[in-house]
Amino acid sequence: MNQYLSLSAEVAEALENHKPLVALESTIISHGMPYPQNVETAKNCERIIRENGAVPATCAILGGKLCVGLEPQQLEYLGKAGQAVTKASRRDIARLVAAEADGATTVAATMILAKMAGISIFATGGIGGVHRGAETTMDISADLEELAQTDVAVVCAGAKSILDLGLTLEYLETKGVPVIGYETDELPAFYTRTSGFKVDCRMDTPQQIADTIRASFGLGLHNGMLIVNPIPEENSMDPDYIGQVITQAVAEANARGIHGKEITPFLLGRIKDVTGGKSLESNIALVYNNARLAAQIAAAL
Ligand code: PSU
Ligand code: MN
């Protein structure tokens, strides 16, 4: 066991007894949603995972410890602190550990913590990817590099079109990351069930996905996998409307010169404000949907 890891009692017990586990990230809590909906969503995700036969393991860096499995008061702390907590991706981990500081883990960092603990399934909302305009800005999320090198399967609702979805898929193909559509042939675009871009394969049962994960690990391929799960129909948004909102938010970010790790949280916040909280409702619904599927896959594994 890695000396920097700190497992909750529930996670330690589950690992010891080979129970199915599902990792959860914490940037979505601190930087992805406002308080108190963020804490409520985090707690409900954990409940949904338990109801579906798996053990939740929310990840964060607290006091320099790589925490896998958080107590309710730790979720509350991250949710209240919000953007005051460091958004921690791969490159931030070592300095936060050395400084005994706190960090909310992105998809990339959560994959690293999950892997260290021995957890192979991870549920979230959306991943980072290749940003619109990346051909000049070179803004490509570290999440994609992590998927290329860390063998954890990430269940998400596709990616928001704050990203260039076509380029994101090309990048994943180059890096050897399978993109599995759950009951769909298309990459979902987070708020909507379709994007016009095809995934590389479709699977219709959690067992099929679990078998593929097992084969990938057994082969020693070492890359991650992306499982894309469309938002439930009843929670999906009008594509033209949300498309306009996103284009406006991206233009605003460019006009203000926002870049680097600030841009994703800025866009998420603007989208929520402009839609008057409507996007937040959809966001919460799709996260629950992903937690459920991830627990089913973990149980099947
Ligand atoms: N996309 C979302 N919601 C999120 C994020 C992305 O729809 O909360 C967060 C995740 O933690 C993701 C991170 O790993 O943003 C990506 O940030 P960046 O693009 O700076 O790598
Ligand atoms: Mn970036």
The DSSP annotation for 90-135 comes to GGGHHHHHHTT--EEE-HHHHHHHHHHHT--EEE-S----BBTTHH
Q: Ligand 2 center to residue 140 CA distance, Å?
A: 5
Structural domain boundaries enclosing 296? 5-300
Task: State the Cα–Cα distance between residues 131 and 161, nearest whole angstrom.
Answer: 9
> Which pair of structure tokens corresponds to residue 236?
């999906």
User: Counting atoms of ligand 1 from 1, which one is nearest the CA of 32?
Assistant: 8
Distance (Å, whole) CA 151 – CA 69: 19
Nearest ligand, CA 259 = 2
Q: Is residue 281 annotated as a catalytic residue, yes or no?
A: no
Is 160 among the catalytic positions?
Answer: yes
**Of 26, 169, 40, 160, which is closest to residue 105 (Cα–Cα)?**
26
Distance 142 CA to ligand 2 centre (A): 7
Q: Is the peptide bond before 36 cis (omega within 30 degrees of 0)?
A: yes
3-state secondary structure of 203: strand
| Count of CA atoms in the C-beta half-sphere (13 A) of 144 | 21
CA 16 to centroid of ligand 1, rounded, Å: 31
Q: How far is the CA of 256 from the centre of ligand 2 (A)?
A: 16
Q: Using DSSP, how many helices (H) and how many strands (E) does the chain show?
A: 13, 11
What is the per-residue pLDDT for 99? 98
Q: Which of 24, 26, 27, 144 to mutate to test the pocket of ligand 1 (most atoms within 8 A of CB)?
A: 27
Residue 32's alpha-carbon distances to 5, 10, 39, 107, 133, in angstroms, are 25, 26, 11, 12, 22
The number of the ligand nearest the C-alpha atom of 41 reads: 1
Active-site residue among 160, 186, 261, 272?
A: 160
pLDDT value at residue 277: 86
pLDDT in tens, the chain (301 residues): 789 999 999 999 999 999 999 999 999 999 999 999 999 999 999 999 999 999 999 999 999 999 999 999 999 999 999 999 999 999 999 999 999 999 999 999 999 999 999 999 999 999 999 999 999 999 999 999 999 999 999 999 999 989 999 999 999 999 999 999 999 999 999 999 999 999 999 999 999 999 999 999 999 999 999 999 999 999 999 999 999 999 999 999 999 999 999 999 999 999 999 998 889 999 999 999 999 999 999 999 9
- Identify the CATH number of the domain in which residue 78 sits: 3.40.1790.10
Q: Which amino acids bring their CB within 6 angstroms of ligand 1?
A: 25, 27-28, 32, 89, 106-107, 125-128, 141-143, 160, 261, 264, 268
How many separate domains does the chain show?
Answer: 1
Q: Residues 222, 148: contact at Cβ < 8 Å?
A: no
CA distance 23 to 58: 6
Q: What SS3 class is residue 186?
A: strand
Question: Whole-prediction pTM value?
Answer: 0.98
Contact 126, 156 (CB under 8 A): yes
Q: Are 141 and 170 in contact (CB under 8 A)?
A: no
